[in-house]
């Protein structure tokens, strides 16, 4: 074997021994909350397509129409010839939804964050990130070369302390956080953070991957109170409740213009397929026209947390922390045997010692399935946790 293969095999064995090796499993999603895996149809409680837009006939029809007219690819970077007219339309729609001057779309949410942050922040600047921020916010932070600290999750006192200690020595300061936390389902205190950012001349950036479409009347985590929170940089993805693919940033005109001209992941990466952009537009039409439907995922999650006496869900995401990776894997396997797909989430996606089941709820989950799942969790998973 070559030294390359030796290295890869040794790393895999080490991961295997800690129950941290991951494997791809073929899974075909169907309409509603169903997936086909290993020859069985399961009810999935781990898709991020919260509004089941990915299979909505109106979304599919819009994507097909764009596919027929414009083909399967945009053919180049948006700055060369890949800027199909649908991009501008979607950017206008998102800017309107988020009440900002303008918006720019990227190939994905991950690409957005690793493009945006290094465009704005450089050595000599300061980035303060919530400790549970999504991996791509932290990757963008690393790429920027700015000095970076993590504050304890949602801990405004710790954030204040870091601002008071380090803000003075830095040229610019960016505060980054998930709006809705991807693995915990709780919310950042964005209004208080925006005030704090203003006091310290810092810029607040929220990653609202799990907020758009389902929180704040579909507008996301900046819209939980009557007035829009003063968040300078509202980033998010089209790959979750919007049911399509792509990432975006909504912000002021000069910021968006700078990102369009300097963000490496926009410049050096091919534009989204026009069909994906058309799908996003169709999904936004539905979300804006049907607010009661868009509110369903959180209501379904609350039905589950009520049944189990867990803290009331604030978003469609409900974590159940079990601790060790093998406990999470065993619970996930048990539920799969019972017909429910709930993937175990392990480090490094979540901190050491907090492996968990992460349940996500969609508009089209049947109440009877939620109730049966809650029963199984109560009688087989929680009981084991309590017995430990």
Ligand X SMILES: *Cc1c(COP(=O)(O)O)cnc(C)c1O
Residues binding ligand X (CB under 6 A): 108-110, 134, 136, 178, 182, 207, 209-210, 237, 239, 247
Closer by beta carbon to ligand X, 86 or else 136: 136
Q: Which of 134, 240, 300, 365 is catalytic?
A: 240
Closer by beta carbon to ligand X, 209 or else 320: 209
Closer by beta carbon to ligand X, 190 or else 327: 190
Give me the least distance between CB of 106 and ligand X, in Å please: 8
Rounded to the nearest 5°, which phi and psi values hold at 71?
85, -175
Does 182 participate in catalysis according to the annotation? yes
Closer by beta carbon to ligand X, 52 or else 237: 237
Closer by beta carbon to ligand X, 200 or else 314: 314
* Contacts of residue 113, Cβ cutoff 8 Å, sequence gap at least 6: 134, 136, 137, 139, 140, 207, 235, 247
Closer by beta carbon to ligand X, 110 or else 304: 110
Give me the least distance between CB of 153 and ligand X, in Å please: 14
Does 158 participate in catalysis according to the annotation? no
Burial state string for 350-387 with b = 16 or more CB within 10 A and e = fewer than 16: beeebbbbbbbbbbbbeeeebeebbebbeeebbeeeee
Give me the least distance between CB of 247 and ligand X, in Å please: 5
Closer by beta carbon to ligand X, 341 or else 345: 345
> If you count them, how many residues does the chain have?
388
Give me the least distance between CB of 134 and ligand X, in Å please: 3
Does 166 participate in catalysis according to the annotation? no
Give me the least distance between CB of 22 and ligand X, in Å please: 16
Give me the least distance between CB of 103 and ligand X, in Å please: 15
Partnered with residue 5 across adjacent β-strands are none
3-state secondary structure the chain: CCHHHHHHHHHHHHHHHCCCCCCCCCEEECCCCEEEECCEEEEECCCCCCCCHHHCHHHHHHHHHHHHHHCCCCCCEHHHHHCCHHHHHHHHHHHHHHCCCEEEEECCHHHHHHHHHHHHCCCCCEEEEECCCCHHHHHHHHHHCCEEEEECCCCHHHHHHHHHHHHHHCCCEEEEEECECCCCCCECCHHHHHHHHHHCCCEEEEECCCCCCCCHHHCCHHHCCCCCCCCCEEEEECCCCCCCCCEEEEECHHHHHHHHHHCHHHHCCECCCHHHHHHHHHHHHHHHHCHHHHCHHHHHHHHHHHHCCCCCCCCCEEEEEEECHHHHHHHHHHHHHCCEECCEECCCCCCCCCEEEEEECCCCCCHHHHHHHHHHHHHHHHHHHHHC
Closer by beta carbon to ligand X, 272 or else 321: 272
Give me the least distance between CB of 49 and ligand X, in Å please: 11
Q: Which of 84, 134, 200, 210 is catalytic?
A: 210
Q: Which of 108, 133, 144, 182 is catalytic?
A: 182
Q: Which residue is nearest to ligand X (CB)?
A: 109
Give me the least distance between CB of 132 and ligand X, in Å please: 10
Catalytic residues: 182, 210, 240
């Amino acid at each position: 074997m070559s030294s390359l293969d030796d290295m890869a095999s040794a790393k895999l064995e080490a991961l295997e021994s800690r129950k941290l090796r991951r494997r791809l499993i073929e899974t075909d999603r169907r309409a509603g909350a169903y997936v086909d895996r290993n020859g069985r149809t399961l009810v999935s409680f781990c898709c991020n397509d919260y509004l089941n837009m990915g299979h909505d006939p109106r979304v599919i029809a819009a994507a097909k129409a764009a596919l027929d007219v414009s083909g399967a690819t945009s053919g180049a970077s948006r700055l060369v010839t890949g800027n199909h007219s649908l991009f501008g339309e979607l950017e206008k729609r998102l800017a309107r939804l988020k009440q900002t001057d303008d918006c720019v779309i990227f190939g994905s949410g991950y690409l957005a964050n690793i493009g945006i942050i290094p465009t704005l922040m450089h050595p000599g600047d300061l980035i303060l990130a919530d400790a549970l921020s999504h991996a791509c916010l932290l990757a963008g932070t690393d790429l920027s070369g700015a000095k970076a600290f993590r504050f304890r999750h949602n801990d405004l006192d710790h954030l204040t302390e870091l601002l008071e200690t380090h803000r003075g020595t830095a040229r610019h300061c960016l505060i980054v956080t998930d709006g809705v936390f991807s693995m915990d389902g709780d919310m950042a205190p964005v209004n208080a953070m925006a005030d704090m950012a203003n006091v310290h001349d810092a810029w607040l950036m929220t990653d609202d991957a799990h907020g758009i479409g389902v929180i704040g009347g579909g507008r996301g985590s900046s819209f939980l109170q009557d007035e829009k929170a003063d968040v300078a940089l509202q980033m998010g993805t089209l790959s979750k409740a919007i049911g399509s693919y792509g990432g975006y940033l909504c912000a002021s005109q000069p910021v968006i213009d700078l990102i369009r001209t300097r963000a490496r992941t926009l410049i050096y990466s091919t534009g989204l397929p026009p069909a994906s952009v058309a799908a996003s537009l169709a999904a936004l039409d539905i979300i804006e026209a049907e607010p009661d439907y868009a509110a369903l995922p959180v209501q379904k999650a609350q039905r589950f947390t009520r049944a189990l006496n867990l803290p009331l869900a604030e978003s469609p995401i409900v974590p159940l922390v079990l601790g060790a990776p093998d406990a999470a894997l065993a619970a996930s396997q048990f539920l799969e045997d019972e017909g429910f797909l709930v993937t175990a989430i392990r480090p490094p996606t979540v901190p050491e010692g907090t492996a968990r089941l992460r349940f996500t709820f969609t508009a089209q989950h049947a109440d009877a399935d939620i109730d049966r799942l809650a029963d199984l969790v109560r009688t087989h998973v929680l009981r084991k946790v309590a017995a430990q």
